[in-house]
Structure 1
């Protein structure tokens, strides 16, 4: 078999080229199709952002950063919730951003929209997109007139508080801060 060394020699460049060709497919996957979001939310990536917030197991289900890393490390056993081991990038529209920038997070005005991307690492595409839209008084006073939305990685869009009941049940714990977790403006993001 005189051609065997030649085949082995050619196999390495061939496999390398194949790997390089397939890599962009996995590295640059798109995640959820944001055109499934309501029109007023589709440009959220252009809003003010608070990128790559690592969610602490103590605050699972919340959009916050742990105030003390030591407390986080001491409670590693607490492991549950929809945001376990995830990074969140939070985006706030100009209406809501004013509340964040003036530290009035207890009083988001109607028209405020908060969007959060859920990621497994800071550098990958979002695996899911969730959001909150503040309505005029009378929409749903049990959650401060917020409406919850969720877009899964497989492009299933959920809108409304009955459909997004897991979001609602968690955000009820934040009634003292207008049902919003986090105090982003107090983290030095106020420019």
Structure 2
């Protein structure tokens, strides 16, 4: 979301688009969750990952933290999230995507969280309009106000909301389920009216989406 105060909170704006760096986007191998374990590389020494701290959110047990996860055909979004929930995102890229979902939409219904994650993913595939990695999109200057100096606030990684965000990130990166926001690249909270001259795509949860 734009840091500019005039936009208000919770809006990802069409301004200040920078050329994409040469960084490579997270591999779509996360789609292997149907039959194989997801990425399990530890995130130690990650300069972007905030320290884990305590919080008031309800802790829950990890789901299939270190074993293969099978998603049944026709499983609902809530069922899929329940299967993919975990505290460890598994890679720096997935943690960046999860952080975007968490800070922008953690209090929304899962469909709203999926829509936010889809916008971040869409930006990585925007052919140079935005950075080509999740971390690049998240830390692009002037886009998400919760990011300051390439970092974001600490997260209670044992909380249900964080684990849901990780599950959504795995769903988006693995192309397991799609949101109905299509190729949207921008969104803002319903409570603000930035007056963008863009094509409105959908309204999901607390956000309105554009391309």
TM bucket (normalised to shorter chain) is: under 0.3
Higher RCO structure (Cα 8 Å, ≥6 apart) = 2
Q: Which has the higher strand share?
A: 1
TM-score of the superposed pair, with normalisation by structure 1: 0.23
Q: Which has the higher helix share?
A: 1
TM-score of the superposed pair, with normalisation by structure 2: 0.22
